[in-house]
Amino acid sequence: MWDNDEFSAESVGLPALLRAWRVEAGEKSGRGKMLTQREVAQLMGVSERWYRALESGTRVPLTPETLTSLADALSLGPGERTALYSYQMSEISDEGQSDRSEDDVPTDWIRDFIAGQTSCPVYLVDRAWNLVGANDLMRTWFPWSSEPGANLLRWILQEPEARTQLVDWREQVSRYLAQLRFALHQYPEDTNLRDLLEIVRGGPEFEELWNSGPFIVAFRQGGLFRLSLPHISSDELKVASQVFLPAYRPGMRMVALMPV
């Protein structure tokens, strides 16, 4: 069984991310071992003491230039950089500043917009993959999306039909788990996200997938999916996810599944 500390929500905080990225940076360089703290500090042009403090969780000044230098030193990709930058942006987020009456309006407008889309399946999820809205095509392709309390990640992890409808199920799960890491990094106290993590912890088959593939993914812009939906087509369907992030709705994603 997995180590409780390794798979806790806290294990995806910035210190854990930095350590994991040092391992990945070493692999990318072909050296076969992780970059040391001293090497990262040298690449950034800062003292080893400063970097050690950062990786230990100590609050240190982080300017945009410093974050860029850190991302470059660790050879981070786009999704990883988004996770890193969110560490600073979380301190100045305006989430929760609107009162409820103002906060409800954007979601209703987005739902109406999604319902009007007729060219491809479109859906809206919150930061824990709870379905907030979906158009008719989404409900036709995936009938589960019409059920009360529908949750995309729960469906992928728990429902047997997901394993057949997502032709490359294992690859997709590994990428969604990388997204779950990112969500937990942003919202470590979110009970819905912690519930999803418990599902992962409770399935030994997910251990390999948790540790393989990308370590962290912010969102699946352009992600390719191979679908087997006999009630829609006798042929395998290929779609790409186009992700839109609604303004003033932190954590929400509107996703269109575009044929390719």
pLDDT digits (tens, 9 = 90+) for 4-61: 445 554 456 778 788 888 988 888 888 878 999 999 999 999 999 999 999 998 888 8
- The answer on 241 and 113 residing in a single domain is yes
Residue 226 located in a structural domain? yes
Looking at residue 145, its pLDDT comes to: 97
DSSP 8-state code for residue 226: E
Looking at residue 124, its pLDDT comes to: 95
Looking at residue 88, its pLDDT comes to: 63
- The answer on 42 and 149 residing in a single domain is no
- The answer on 109 and 226 residing in a single domain is yes
d(CA 97, CA 168): 41
- The answer on 145 and 244 residing in a single domain is yes
d(CA 243, CA 256): 7
Domains contained in the chain, number: 2
Residues of the domain holding 127: 100-259
- The answer on 218 and 108 residing in a single domain is yes
Residue 68 located in a structural domain? yes
- The answer on 56 and 110 residing in a single domain is no
Residue 81 located in a structural domain? no
Supply the CATH number for residue 42's domain: 1.10.260.40
d(CA 186, CA 220): 16
Residue 30 located in a structural domain? yes
Residue 115 located in a structural domain? yes
- Compute the average pLDDT of residues 226-248: 93
Percent of the chain's residues with pLDDT above 70: 87
- The answer on 68 and 104 residing in a single domain is no
Do residues 129 and 197 touch, judged by C-beta distance below 8 A?
no
Instruction: Output the pTM of the full model.
Output: 0.74
Residue 83 located in a structural domain? no
- The answer on 153 and 228 residing in a single domain is yes
pLDDT above 70: residue 181: yes
- 207 compared with 225, residue with greater pLDDT: 225
Q: Can you tell me which residue has the tokens 């917009």? A: 113
- 176 compared with 99, residue with greater pLDDT: 176
- The answer on 146 and 230 residing in a single domain is yes
Residue 25 located in a structural domain? yes
- The answer on 179 and 105 residing in a single domain is yes
d(CA 181, CA 218): 9
Per-residue pLDDT band for 81 (boundaries 50, 70, 90) equals: confident
- The answer on 104 and 70 residing in a single domain is no
Residue 90 located in a structural domain? no
- 111 compared with 139, residue with greater pLDDT: 139
Domain boundary among the residues 75, 108, 127 is at 75
d(CA 117, CA 108): 15
Measured from the Cβ of residue 134, the count of other Cβ atoms closer than 10 Å reads 24
- Tokens at residue 24, please? 């990945």
DSSP 8-state code for residue 243: E
> What DSSP element (H or E) covers 115?
helix 100-115
Supply the CATH number for residue 163's domain: 3.30.450.180
- The answer on 233 and 119 residing in a single domain is yes
Looking at residue 245, its pLDDT comes to: 84
Residue partners of 31: CB distance under 8 A and separation at least 6:
none
